[in-house]
Chains A and B, each alone.
Chain A
């Protein structure tokens, strides 16, 4: 995962937003971190250690030193994984999970980025909504699930809606924060050139706020997957979360682990994919921001 960027930044930017934009921005640490900084070393030791862990698990399980029912051998889990993948069980459960998750995520981004931009640009709006947002933001999205089930049942609509609700907040708050952090001089220069407000927002403010928006989108993506899985755990007929819970209740433990492995792979790949897109966008961002200086 080459996780330097995303491991570091998954935390702090969200934190920056939650401190409340009305306070003076704190100077220390998290806000002013160096960009490229290898947090975790790369090398052979890491993969070797994972192999070692798996080998220990396999051995303990084969020698029946741990409860085999609860900790089936790694080889069994792997075999089940391959079977479940080739007999189409995994693909047919993965597809609905990903579809609902990405739909909810896209809707959240489509709503939160424009709304956050407007709220950040016209401070007055944001300042007046802040007490409400401060109260709603720390609410775990899963707590709203039972209420959503009332309105939407346990079908796709509910699952898309809860994903939307869950990742709306980090995207919104980071966008607001990013837009508010745009240097006023840039906006004033644009005004001097008699740009229209729409053009200022689109071609000046949004690009300048991009890093922070990306941070929100990254946090949102992690939350989207979590919430999609939980929504399937409480009621579904297909989906990866449903599969895992069903396997657990039926005490098909190797299947349960195989499902969790698949989920881990999905989480990993989503993360990687996001980082690739982000790297592209940020390269563009730097190219846009550097010539002519920042104001």
Chain B
């Protein structure tokens, strides 16, 4: 039996123990209902369309915020990596803003944009930009100077050098930044929905808790976990597929 299957059996065992503990009232089933009733609640909110609606909202904001962050982070990182004066000018700003917990931006976004999508989009973009920017900058800085010199020898224009040589060479770092940014973007969407919003998965979880629909709340948390898991999976496999060439090149050296 492969370890993978054994690993899945571990999950099954934990669920079974949880189920048994709930039935034996070892834990308060009002607070921690058995997995079976969470599954039932989950099926119900799937069937009623409620879950799909919240997932759609969450994912819409996630996609928009993450796309903006990618645009901003990659272009700013590339420019800062290529033009030292720009990096010098922005250095302190980046160093001061980056360690600030990104959730602190939520109240600013609320007073500026209100409680709807623009607020959530802004918050998501803000938080996800940092890892993308930093990793892009790092990637650009670590490009082998020989590559750049060769491109220069072949008289590549500066924009062409940036797009055809530097960007691909930096892509493994950018990919790492994107994967980290994707996870952070999800954290911020859910937090914004939890703290101040009227729709989305985070809102659904908070609302279920407040109205004491506890199985629904756990079904919501489970759905967020699934979304996070699938996003991560998508990024890891896209990374492996897209960067296979890089890995082959690197291992040949």
Residues on A close to B: CB < 8 A? 1, 3, 7-8, 10-12, 14-15, 18-20, 26-30, 33-34, 37, 39-43, 45-50, 53, 70, 124, 127-132, 134-147, 149-151, 222, 225-226, 229-230, 233-234, 241, 244-245, 247-248, 251, 253, 256-257, 260, 263-264, 267-268, 270-271
Interface: B224 (CB within 8 A):
yes
Query: Could you say which residues of chain A place their CB within 8 Å of the CB of B100?
Result: 260, 263-264, 267-268
In the assembled complex, the CB of B243 is this many whole angstroms from the nearest CB of chain A, namely: 7
21 A-B pairs with CB atoms under 8 Å apart are A12-B135, A12-B173, A15-B176, A29-B172, A30-B173, A30-B176, A33-B138, A46-B89, A132-B10, A134-B229, A135-B11, A139-B224, A139-B228, A139-B229, A140-B228, A142-B191, A143-B225, A147-B217, A226-B187, A244-B107, A260-B104
Nearest CB in chain A to that of B224: its residue: A143
Q: For the complex formed, measure the closest distance between the CB of A61 and the CB atoms of chain B, giving whole angstroms.
A: 14
User: How many angstroms from the CA of A226 to the CA of B195 in the assembled complex?
Assistant: 13
Q: A28-B246, A29-B173, A132-B10 known; A11 and B180 CB under 8 Å?
A: yes
Q: Does the CB pair A129–B10 fall under 8 Å?
A: yes
A27 near B3: Cβ-Cβ < 8 Å:
no
Residue of B nearest to A38 (CB): B141
The A-B contact count (CB < 8 A) is: 234
Instruction: Report chain A residues within 8 Å CB of B183.
Output: 138, 140
Q: When the two chains form their complex, are residues B89 and A138 in contact, meaning their CB atoms are under 8 A apart? A: no
Cα separation A15 to B224 with both chains bound (whole Å) = 20
Interface contact A28-B247, CB-CB below 8 Å: yes
User: Which residues on A sit within 8 Å (CB–CB) of B61?
Assistant: none
Q: Which residues of B contact A3 (CB under 8 A)?
A: 94-95, 98
* B interface, size bucket: 35 or more
Q: Is B20 an interface residue (CB 8 A)?
A: no
Chain A nearest CB from B27 CB (Å) reads: 9
Q: Which of the candidate stretches B42-50, B80-88, B152-160 sits at the interface with the other chain?
A: B80-88
B26 to nearest A CB, angstroms?
Answer: 14
> Please, which residues of chain B bring their CB within 8 A of the CB of A263?
100-101, 104
Interface flags, B61-102, vs A, CB<8A=1, else 0: 000000000000000000000001101111111111111111
With A28-B246, A28-B247 known, 5 other A-B pairs at CB within 8 A are: A11-B135, A27-B250, A130-B3, A140-B187, A140-B191
Query: In the bound complex, do residue B4 and residue A131 qualify as a contact, i.e. CB atoms below 8 Å apart?
Result: yes
- The answer to whether B8 touches A131, judged by C-beta atoms less than 8 angstroms apart, is yes
| B165 close to chain A: CB less than 8 A | no
Cβ contact within 8 Å between A267 and B99? yes
Most buried by A among B6, B104, B110: B104
Interchain CB contact under 8 A, A53 and B107: no
